[in-house]
């Protein structure tokens, strides 16, 4: 961004005329950036809603294509001085706003028009921070909850696949963002973060996505009858390597609206939700390796499934399919920059990674008295390339295949994507 544009932005932010020296100071305090991704995919399997209940009927269905802009994000931050800063992140998902029409898999293929909170434009971050020291910073506002490797590093240049890594993206909110308070800091090779946020809603848990939708809200406010507690710790002792542990705990039941205890028989059903994750990233001169392992648990899963299926109104904005007592995801990816064998010494920025990724995930691990849905148990492989002509831009291509249990059909696909991530002013 050129100087005149930055000056204009500074004037708009302050609402007053500034001297040249003051304008230059404002430019240094302003941070403007973002990221975005475009994905073009051909899926060589059926997209019929009954493909798992009657797989033989759809074994020879034609392929189908999907073009999408999964995320386009604008960052805007400002340093007020004396340790006070702010950060906002506005995200546009799938190029749309307002309503979205979809064929509802959990309701026998019924067409539904859904309105999500904020439509398809989300305020993913909005916080004010006071920094007392590198070891102690306090944020209050709308925050990213950094549980799992994907939520901690969800920008598209932080993973090789065209779409976000499928396991964590399936069972966890992504990007998980909520309103609350964060305490974080870094000392030496260690970084920590502890958060108190609004709790999850167990009526939004489901078979195909576990707790993913529990962080959302169909209302103009987020219900916070219960609180959630999250934490993350990162270690950087080994050069080029990050090792991380993160987790979440909260009560999911009785965190809905209205809070009138509509059936006292279930007053003691808590829906305790716990989630733990380990992830790592090694970023060497030519080799990059990333991985994750996650496990989640929900108490009273069978009772919660019965209540939300049978005792809530059909018009209520809740997920009707059962939630299992657990879910898991594990994945690893590695990419090697083959261009370093041929690179001109004057062109040190360009990279060309060949990569492979493997992951396993299951969004529904039933309790002993719950029915089983074997198709939620999946393996996935992806192989492809990432070409980075500049450090902020990536062109991605991949072949992937989901491996389901033998009674179902595997799901291969080919994808092409382009993504950017960077700061225009800082």
Q: Which of 14, 38, 37, 39 is nearest to 25 (CA)?
A: 14
Structure pTM? 0.86
The token duo for 94 is 């799938």
Distance CA 212, CA 298 (A): 13
Locate all alpha helices (DSSP H) within 282-402, ordered by sequence: 301-310
pLDDT tens profile 271-304: 999 999 999 999 999 999 999 999 999 999 999 9
Domains, the chain? 3-425 (2.40.160.10)
- Cα–Cα distance between 247 and 183 in angstroms, integer? 15
Greater confidence (71 vs 118) lies with: 71
User: Sorting pLDDT into bands at 50, 70 and 90, what band is 308?
Assistant: confident
Between residues 99 and 385, which one has the greater pLDDT?
385
Closest CA to 215 of 177, 246, 249: 177
Identify the three-state secondary structure at position 399: strand
Mean pLDDT, residues 317-322 taken together: 87
Give 161-215 pLDDT, tens digit per residue: 999 999 999 999 989 999 999 999 999 999 999 999 999 999 999 999 999 999 9
Dump the DSSP string for 8-72: HHHHHHH-S---HHHHHHHHHHEEEEEEEEEEEEEE-S---TTTTTSGGGGTTPPPEEEEEEEEE
User: Does 380 score more than 70 pLDDT?
Assistant: yes
pLDDT, one tens digit per residue, over 336-345 is 999 988 866 5
Distance, CA of 43 to CA of 62 (rounded, Å): 9
Helix (H, G, I), strand (E, B) or coil at 289: strand
Q: How far is the C-alpha of 374 from the C-alpha of 352, rounded, in Å?
A: 38
Q: What is the mean pLDDT of residues 32-61?
A: 95
Model confidence at 218, in pLDDT bands (50, 70, 90)? confident
Q: Going along 52-151, which residue ranges are E strands?
A: 64-81, 84-92, 99-104, 110-115, 121-133, 136-144
Question: Which residues, at least 6 apart from 200, have a Cβ–Cβ distance to it below 8 Å?
Answer: 211, 214, 215, 228, 250, 252, 255, 273
Q: CA 389, CA 7: separation in Å to the nearest integer?
A: 30
List pLDDT tens digits, range 352-377.
999 999 999 999 999 999 999 999 99
Tell me: pLDDT of 20 over 80. Answer: no
Parallel/antiparallel/unpaired status of strands 64-81 and 30-43: antiparallel
- Residue 339: how many CB atoms within 10 A of its CB? 17
The per-residue pLDDT for 318 is: 83
pLDDT digits (tens, 9 = 90+) for 136-165: 999 999 999 999 999 999 999 999 999 999
CA 144 vs CA 87, 89, 180, 387, 405: distances in Å: 11, 10, 10, 28, 35
Angle at 421 between CA 416 and CA 426, to 5 degrees: 170
pLDDT band at 100 (very low <50, low <70, confident <90, very high): low
pLDDT in tens, 48-99: 999 999 999 999 999 999 999 999 999 999 999 999 999 999 998 887 665 5
The residue-averaged pLDDT of 394-421 equals 97
DSSP of 222-264: ---SSEEEEEEEEE--STTEEEEEEEEEEE-TT-SSS-S-S-G
Phi, psi of 267 (to 5 degrees): -65, -30
Look up residue 149 and give its two tokens: 């490797």
pLDDT of the residue at 418: 98
In whole angstroms, what is the distance from residue 210 CA to residue 298 CA? 9
Q: What pLDDT is attached to residue 319?
A: 85
Q: What are the pLDDT digits (tens) for 233-280?
A: 999 999 999 999 999 999 999 998 877 665 678 888 999 999 999 999
Q: Are 327 and 360 spatial neighbours (Cβ–Cβ below 8 Å)?
A: no
């Amino acid at each position: 961004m050129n100087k005149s544009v930055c000056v204009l932005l500074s004037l708009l932010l302050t609402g007053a005329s500034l001297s040249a020296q003051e304008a230059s100071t404002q430019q240094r305090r302003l941070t403007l950036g973002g990221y975005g991704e475009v994905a073009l995919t051909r899926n060589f399997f059926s997209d019929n809603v009954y493909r798992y209940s009657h797989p033989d009927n759809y074994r020879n269905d034609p392929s189908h294509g999907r073009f999408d802009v999964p995320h386009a994000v604008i960052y805007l931050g400002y340093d007020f001085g004396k340790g006070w800063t702010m950060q906002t992140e506005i995200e546009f998902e799938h190029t749309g706003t307002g309503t979205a029409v979809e064929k509802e898999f959990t309701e026998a293929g019924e067409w539904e028009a859904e309105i999500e909170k904020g439509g398809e434009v989300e305020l993913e971050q909005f916080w004010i921070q006071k920094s007392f020291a590198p070891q102690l910073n306090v944020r209050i506002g709308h925050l990213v909850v950094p549980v799992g490797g994907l939520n901690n590093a969800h920008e598209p240049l932080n993973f090789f696949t065209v779409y976000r890594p499928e396991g964590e993206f399936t069972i966890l909110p992504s990007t998980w963002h909520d309103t609350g308070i964060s305490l974080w800091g870094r000392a030496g090779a260690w970084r920590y973060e502890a958060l108190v946020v609004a709790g999850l809603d167990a009526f939004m848990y489901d078979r195909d996505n576990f707790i993913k939708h529990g962080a959302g809200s169909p209302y103009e406010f987020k219900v916070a009858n219960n609180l959630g507690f999250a934490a993350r710790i990162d270690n950087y002792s080994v050069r080029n390597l990050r090792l991380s542990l993160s987790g979440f705990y909260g009560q999911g039941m009785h965190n809905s609206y209205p809070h009138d205890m509509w059936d006292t028989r279930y007053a003691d059903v808590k829906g305790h939700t716990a989630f733990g994750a380990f992830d790592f990233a090694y970023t060497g001169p030519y080799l990059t390796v990333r991985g994750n392992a996650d496990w989640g648990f929900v108490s009273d899963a069978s009772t919660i499934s019965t209540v939300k299926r049978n005792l809530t109104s059909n018009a209520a904005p809740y997920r009707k399919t059962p939630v299992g007592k657990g879910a898991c995801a594990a994945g690893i990816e590695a990419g090697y920059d083959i261009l370093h064998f041929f690179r001109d010494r004057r062109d040190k920025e360009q990279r060309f990674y060949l990569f492979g990724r493997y992951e396993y995930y299951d969004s529904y691990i039933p309790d002993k008295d719950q029915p089983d849905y074997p198709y939620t148990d999946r393996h996935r492989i992806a192989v492809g390339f990432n070409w980075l002509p500049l450090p902020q831009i990536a062109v991605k291509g991949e072949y992937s295949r989901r491996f389901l249990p033998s009674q179902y059909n595997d799901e291969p696909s080919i994808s092409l994507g382009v993504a950017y991530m960077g700061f225009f002013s800082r």
